[in-house]
Structure 1
Amino acid sequence: MTVHSAVQLAFDGSTIDGSLFTSITNFARDTTWLNTPMEVWTNLGLGVFAILMLMGWWNARRRDTTAMTLALAAPVCVATAFAVAEVAKKIVAEVRPCRSLPHDYFVAACPAPSDYAFPSGHTTTAAATVAALFLLDRRLSAIAAIFAVLEGFTRVYVGAHYPHDVLGAAIIALPVAFLTSLALRRYATGLIDSLSRGVLRPLLVASTGAHAAY
């Protein structure tokens, strides 16, 4: 199948919330002074979620094995949610807004035709981080949630995704990441406990003393 015919068969998401998408991109058109900051944040802002996971790991070194298991599980949870979202993206095959609504205002460049829209990969990463940190550190999870909302909004603001792409990403990522975190806490704690007694101990335990209470 050629790329052209594949695009013709792809799903047109503008029929769901195209008017809301246009309202937001019209706001982007009227706030051009925000365009560059929003475009920079929508990509580089993902680094914030990596930093929050690193903070979770650093703090877990002063806690117990269960906390460290959850900390090390966080990036696995995010990767798992992202993989599930990528499968959904191929199945739904929703064309990007820039192809369905070419006359709207777009801050971001239009991706290749085979780069589908639903669900938003950036939002998947953000929402998965929220869920991955929930059992480890509620404060870090709450901070991640605030940045996740901002990340989702910027994806629509720059014209990369419809609102339902962002919502769908959260609906997929939150339970997948949370359940993965639960599973790894249950089944990987023993492995982490063994590793913490070996050469990796400095990375897993802050001191030579006993673990702090969870």
Structure 2
Amino acid sequence: MSQDLYRDITDFAHDTPSWVQLLAEVWTEAGLLLFGVLFLVGWWRARPAGSRAMALAVLAPLGTAFGYVVSELLKSLVDEERPCRAVAGAAASLVACPPHGDWSFPSNHSAIAGAAAVALALAWRRIVWLTVPMALLMAFSRVFVGVHYPHDVAAGLVLGALAAVLFIKLLTGPTRALTDAMRASGSPAPAWLAGPGPAAPAPAVPDHTAPPRRREPMHRRG
């Protein structure tokens, strides 16, 4: 079934205008760069926030890297040949077919995309409306250009997302404590990397314009 769907998608790819094919070829790699930019933006916006927000922003790229490592380990165990070499009668891939030994399952690009989309959403909830479509488009583009089966990219998305969530959940506490320590260290570089954190509330200023309180008369003992 996955082979039939692969043929359908690659046939559709060859029927699209050349500019669509070019966009797919560019996006399959450029999407990774855009995720990198979003990691930097997420870190920068977390600098004046609390230590938990900074911990999540720092762990987002690290969790994504962990998702890639898990995907690469599984890929080395499965040894599935690329569809651009294995599926008979399929349209030629739009990009060069990876060499033998660069296995197909799961898709590392999709694992990175799935991990990045979820990790960024944990650190910056409102951006989920951008990161999830980005990840889905990146996964689809890997089939569109002809280098992965549909089940490769589906597994990559799920695997990367789950690995990133597990990684971030386990390390949020220690990273939060490290952020607090860096902010309190007084050293310029660690303090700058961790950010200033939320501003302390201004001390209350006594109101000297209020009328003095009237003292109650003291009753004599008697």
TM-score bin, normalised by smaller chain: 0.7 to 0.9
For residue 37 of structure 2, the aligned residue among 51, 54, 57 is: 51
Partner of 2:179: 192
For residue 155 of structure 1, the aligned residue among 139, 142, 162 is: 142
Q: Which has the larger radius of gyration?
A: 2
Please, what is the CA RMSD of the aligned residues? Answer: 1.7
Partner of 1:202: 192
Distance across 2 between alignment mates of 1:144 and 1:60: 18
- Mapping 1:83-122, distance limit 5 Å: 83-105=69-91, 106-122=93-109
Partner of 1:179: 166
Distance across 1 between alignment mates of 2:200 and 2:150: 48
Task: Give the letter aligned to residue 128 of structure 1.
Answer: A
Is this contact kept in 2: 1:117–1:161, CA < 8 A?
Answer: yes
SS in 2 for 1:188: helix
Is this contact kept in 2: 1:130–1:144, CA < 8 A?
Answer: yes
Distance across 1 between alignment mates of 2:200 and 2:62: 27
Task: Give the letter aligned to residue 26 of structure 2.
Answer: V
- Mapping 1:1-80, distance limit 5 Å: 16-33=1-18, 34-80=20-66
Q: CA deviation at 1:102?
A: 5.0
Is this contact kept in 2: 1:17–1:163, CA < 8 A?
Answer: yes
Q: CA deviation at 1:52?
A: 1.4
SS in 1 for 2:102: coil
Is this contact kept in 1: 2:49–2:198, CA < 8 A?
Answer: no
Q: CA deviation at 1:30?
A: 0.4
Is this contact kept in 2: 1:52–1:140, CA < 8 A?
Answer: no
Is this contact kept in 1: 2:48–2:199, CA < 8 A?
Answer: no
Is this contact kept in 2: 1:61–1:206, CA < 8 A?
Answer: yes
Q: How many correspondences in the alignment?
A: 196
Distance across 2 between alignment mates of 1:147 and 1:135: 16
Q: CA deviation at 1:144?
A: 0.8
Partner of 2:132: 145
Distance across 2 between alignment mates of 1:208 and 1:178: 26
TM-score, scaled relative to structure 1: 0.86
Is this contact kept in 1: 2:79–2:105, CA < 8 A?
Answer: yes
Q: Which has the higher contact order (CA 8 A, sep 6+)?
A: 1
Is this contact kept in 2: 1:130–1:142, CA < 8 A?
Answer: no
TM-score, scaled relative to structure 2: 0.83
Distance across 2 between alignment mates of 1:194 and 1:32: 55
Task: Give the letter aligned to residue 210 of structure 1.
Answer: A
Residue segments in structure 2 that go unaligned for 5+ positions in a row: 202-222
Task: Give the letter aligned to residue 151 of structure 1.
Answer: M
Structure 1 residues 104-156: Cα deviation after superposition (integer angstroms, max 9, x where no partner): 22101011100001111111111001221232111123311110011011010
Partner of 1:8: none
- Alignment CA distance shift 1:102-1:210 (3 Å): farther
Q: CA deviation at 1:86?
A: 0.4
Higher mean alpha-carbon deviation, 37-46 vs 134-143, is at: 134-143
The answer to whether 1:136 aligns with 2:123 is yes
SS in 2 for 1:45: helix
